[in-house]
């Protein structure tokens, strides 16, 4: 019931994203009352800065639940009803390597796709699985593990393969819905989008207003082609050819060579460098005791509407409202051509028992082939992260649509493993 208070533990609570989340919790008290909020983070500096601002926001909003920060994982997870995971193993320094190392091999440098995305998965999957095991032991019966940690599709696949009570979440769908609502000049919550694919490999195939039969996407492509081209990174001719609006991450596949050429230009600045600089500024602002609201600069951090998506998901799981949201979960026949146990990202009915995917129209070959290719890579990525086998890393890179060549896959595997040695104990057993 909405009136029954819950405990929420945020793993990686020292993230600069966190004030967005705590603000969202206040906005949705009509659906889920949080009695206790705990931010878990190993960094005392971040616990002090982010935790301080978070508590001030909560109190300013009139929130009277218990609030604490801690480095004690056991204490944070004990009795939790929701565990929200927003980790970044290795911080922005490791992300910088993900975004730059592959470029030297003629491949895309990105933190969630390609070789960089695999590197992040190798660092992250074992840590998240360990947290999920601890959650199963210490959290309340029926607790939900909500993963917001990239690469979300791979991490959620690992969690569900191991039988954990987990749902994956990304902000891409809700961002797209809100942008289309903006262009249509309507309340975004009235826009129903047909969002389908894998995490960071999705397309919006239709957009309808609630209660109306007409698909407004062709009109949007016609009226706002230049804007949608800019936001998706995909040329307008391709958007018309597809009859769909790809997420921004799809342009890494469709525009791979152009993106690599841009990243190869001398002086190119990685996103990790920009974010590290922004986080320094944000943390300094967070320490101001007079600050009791989210600072304006937080909007530049990325992750737009993160708090809205996360809190809506938790509230629906808690209250069992059965509303439709876009999440990462088992396919279970929703997308034809993919196995039932494949984690996909599409529309689902969310209730107290979890996320139940809604049946989707078959994907055309140009989409299905790429999705099947990427899903095979994701499954191999999970295997590599769990096995600690170099050969499994090579296999994953061979299957990755953004690598897919030999001996390039072997060379990249050695480079990725070497650069991440400090975070990959399974691969470097003494």
Catalytic residue set: 249
Are the beta carbons of 316 and 294 closer than 8 angstroms? no
Residue in the structure block whose two tokens are 């204490």: 75
Closest among 414, 425, 400 to 101, alpha carbons compared: 414
Token representation of residue 183: 């262009």
Polymer length in residues for the chain: 430
Token representation of residue 16: 């600069």
Backbone angles phi, psi at 406, to 5 degrees: -125, 135
> What is the Cα Rg of the chain in Å?
21
Q: How far is residue 286 from each of residues 19, 171, 316, measured CA to CA in Å?
A: 9, 23, 30
CA distance 137 to 143: 10
Q: Is 145 left (phi over 0), alpha (psi -120 to 50) or beta?
A: beta
Are the beta carbons of 123 and 93 closer than 8 angstroms? no
């Amino acid at each position: 019931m909405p009136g029954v208070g819950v405990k929420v533990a945020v793993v990686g609570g020292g993230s600069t994203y966190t004030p967005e989340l705590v603000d969202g919790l206040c906005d949705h008290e009509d659906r889920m009352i949080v009695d206790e909020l705990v931010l878990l983070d190993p960094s005392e500096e971040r616990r002090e800065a982010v935790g301080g601002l978070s508590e001030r926001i909560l109190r300013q909003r009139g929130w009277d639940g218990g609030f604490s920060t801690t480095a004690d994982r056991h204490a944070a997870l004990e009795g939790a009803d929701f565990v929200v995971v927003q980790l970044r193993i290795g911080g922005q320094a490791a992300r910088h390597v993900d975004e730059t190392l592959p470029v030297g091999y003629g491949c895309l440098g990105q933190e969630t796709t390609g070789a960089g995305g695999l590197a992040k998965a190798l660092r992250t999957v074992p840590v998240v699985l360990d947290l999920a095991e601890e959650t199963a032991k210490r959290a309340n019966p029926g607790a939900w593990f909500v993963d917001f940690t990239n690469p979300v599709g791979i991490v959620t696949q690992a969690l569900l393969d191991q039988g954990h009570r987990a749902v994956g979440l990304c902000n891409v769908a809700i961002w797209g819905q809100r942008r289309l609502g903006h262009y249509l000049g309507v309340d975004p919550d009235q826009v129903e989008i047909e969002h389908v694919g894998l995490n960071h490999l999705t397309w919006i195939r239709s957009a309808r207003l609630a209660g109306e039969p007409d698909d407004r996407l062709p009109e949007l492509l016609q009226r706002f082609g230049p804007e949608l081209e800019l936001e998706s990174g995909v040329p307008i001719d391709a958007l018309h050819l597809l009859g769909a609006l790809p997420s921004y991450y799809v342009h890494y596949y469709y525009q791979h060579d152009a993106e690599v050429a841009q990243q190869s230009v001398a002086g190119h600045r990685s996103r990790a460098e920009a974010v590290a600089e922004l986080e320094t500024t944000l943390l300094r602002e967070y320490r101001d005791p007079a600050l009791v609201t989210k600072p304006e600069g937080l909007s530049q951090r990325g992750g737009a509407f993160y708090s809205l998506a996360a809190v809506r998901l938790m509230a629906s799981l808690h209250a069992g409202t059965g509303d439709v949201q876009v999440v990462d979960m088992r396919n279970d026949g929703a997308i034809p051509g993919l196995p039932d146990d494949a984690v996909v990202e599409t529309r689902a009915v969310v209730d107290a028992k979890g996320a139940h995917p809604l049946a989707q129209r078959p994907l055309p070959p140009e989409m299905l082939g790429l999705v099947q290719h990427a899903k095979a890579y994701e499954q191999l990525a999970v295997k590599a992260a769990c096995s600690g086998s170099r050969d499994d890393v090579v296999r994953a890179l061979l299957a990755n649509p953004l690598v897919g060549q030999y001996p390039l896959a072997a060379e990249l595997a050695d480079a990725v493993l070497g650069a991440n040695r400090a975070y990959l104990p399974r691969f470097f057993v003494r």
